[in-house]
Amino acid sequence: MHLACSECGAGAAADELFCDACGGLLAFTLEPAAFDGSHLKAAFRERRLSNDPLDTSGVWRYRELLPPIAAEAVVTLRENVLPLYAAVRGGAYAEARNASYLHLGMNPTASFKDAGMTVAISHAKSAGARVAVCASTGNTAAAMAAYAARAGIAALVLVPAVGISEAKVAQTLDYGATVAAIEGDFDRALEIVRALDPRRFAIVNSVNPYRIEGQKCAAFAMLDSRDWRVPDWIVLPGGNLGNTSAFGKGFREALALGLIDRLPRIAVVQAAGAAPFARLFENGGELVPVRAQTSATAIKIGAPASWRKALAEVRTSAGTVLAVTDDEIADARAVIGRDGIGCEPASAASLAGLRRLRNAGTIGAGEDVVLVLTGHVLKDGAYAARYHTSSASFANPIRSAATDGALRALIDQVLAVRA
């Protein structure tokens, strides 16, 4: 594995964050010729029977394909052990017969960030870092705080002072991080973090290539649990676009290693008020940042850092990028809830996007589609509560049962529905 600039190809040292020559993002490159695919598959499968913490992690189980980090430095919370659920109501809602949810919200801190954070914090620990820092809309903050706590590294997070989920901030505080609420949005917070000296701080936003290496393991874990059967499409929400670049990298590597025989197509879904990548995909050229506005606060991002990497992955996979409205996200999220699954608003962009792509005929009714859910329903309980007191089509308000009579009437109603 070697580290180089993802844009100009110049080599880079392991403790750098941006390319010396052009300022581009760094990325690890794997040498597929060094591996035997069938041997790897057997080893990955065997590790599922083991109780070694490295084997029970859905990241470190794939350690041959990660940057080398000494086992003693590894900080793991058994992340990236991921359920795939049939999308029954969600599939019907989108008129897709063969859709499933890959729930990355079923992680130790309840979002997909844990898969990347275990690698980034383990690297920081092995490099002797004392302070980890990130900009966040909430989930990166919680993940960094948890892994830094386990590593004995101090954690400082920069979050927008307004408009992020209270539950995520509370969770981050619980893990002992220092939370700095800045004036400005996520894009401003990331600007501040990017200007810090990476020799003094371990910067663990997804501009950190170790994060991407961990997150690409979600692609491996998904394929592994499908016995390496490749879906036709994978649909995921896009914000800063680190996760899109990670999934794309994972699939390309799986193909190069002979673990799979083709690439799934990647569909990235943005919120309409925070959709500079969707606009770029349509119009071409360079990314034009926007002032982001959406109630899906996790993806309220106007200047995504990883757009070049993500664009390359979408194009390589013959994929697509689209935007959906906040109302579409809200209704799709409620439908996912009724599948007995649930997720936070940003995650539901995937189902809202699938519905659009089915309507447009881009995705066929019988195609095999994996919808990526990035965060747990409890990440934003306030949003769910608001939704159910609004008049939206899938709302489910709390009924009044202040008297015995009212309660009995309600019980009769519920029984009538069940009969």
Q: What is the total count of residues that contact ligand F0G (CB under 6 A)? A: 23
Interaction between residue 297 and ligand F0G (CB under 6 A)? no
Interaction between residue 187 and ligand F0G (CB under 6 A)? no
Shortest Cβ distance from residue 68 to ligand F0G (Å)? 25
CA within 13 Å, CB half, 288: 8
Q: Which of 293, 394, 398 is nearest to 342 (CA)?
A: 394
- Distance between CA 82 and CA 103 in Å, rounded? 6
Shortest Cβ distance from residue 138 to ligand F0G (Å)? 5
Window 373-412: contact mask with ligand F0G (x via CB under 6 A):
-xx-------------------------------------
Of 79, 313, 344, 367, which lies in the binding site for ligand F0G, with binding defined by CB under 6 A? 344
| Sequence-separated (6 or more) residues with CB below 8 Å from residue 194 | 18, 203, 205, 207
Shortest Cβ distance from residue 380 to ligand F0G (Å)? 9
Q: Which stretch in 93-101, 134-142, 225-233, 253-261 sits in contact with ligand F0G by CB under 6 A?
A: 134-142
Interaction between residue 136 and ligand F0G (CB under 6 A)? yes
Q: Assess contact for 143 and 174: CB atoms under 8 A.
A: no
Interaction between residue 274 and ligand F0G (CB under 6 A)? no
Residue 182 Cα distances to 163, 179, 193, 293, angstroms? 12, 9, 12, 17
Of 278, 346, 351, 370, which lies in the binding site for ligand F0G, with binding defined by CB under 6 A? 346
Q: Which stretch in 172-180, 220-228, 232-240, 384-392 sits in contact with ligand F0G by CB under 6 A?
A: 232-240
Shortest Cβ distance from residue 260 to ligand F0G (Å)? 22
Residue 225 Cα distances to 76, 80, 389, angstroms? 20, 12, 38
- Taking only Cα atoms into account, the Rg of the chain, rounded to an integer number of angstroms, comes to 21
CA 140 to centroid of chain Cα atoms: 10
Q: Which stretch in 29-37, 137-145, 221-229, 315-323 sits in contact with ligand F0G by CB under 6 A?
A: 137-145
Residues 348, 349, 351, 352, Cα dihedral to 10°: 120
Q: Assess contact for 179 and 169: CB atoms under 8 A.
A: yes
Q: How many other C-beta atoms are found inside a 10 Å radius of the C-beta of residue 41? A: 17
Q: Name the residue nearer to ligand F0G (CB basis): 80 or 111.
A: 111
Shortest Cβ distance from residue 56 to ligand F0G (Å)? 24
Q: Name the residue nearer to ligand F0G (CB basis): 110 or 263.
A: 110
Shortest Cβ distance from residue 344 to ligand F0G (Å)? 5
Interaction between residue 237 and ligand F0G (CB under 6 A)? yes
- Distance between CA 93 and CA 104 in Å, rounded? 21
Q: Which stretch in 25-33, 133-141, 247-255, 392-400 sits in contact with ligand F0G by CB under 6 A?
A: 133-141
Residue 88 Cα distances to 29, 58, 85, angstroms? 38, 26, 9
Residue tagged 């794309």 (tokens): 248
Q: Assess contact for 269 and 349: CB atoms under 8 A.
A: yes
Interaction between residue 111 and ligand F0G (CB under 6 A)? yes
Interaction between residue 299 and ligand F0G (CB under 6 A)? yes
Query: Which is it for strands 131-135 and 368-373: parallel, antiparallel or unpaired?
Result: unpaired
Residues that bind ligand F0G (CB under 6 A): 111, 113, 136-140, 206, 237-244, 298-299, 344, 346-347, 374-375
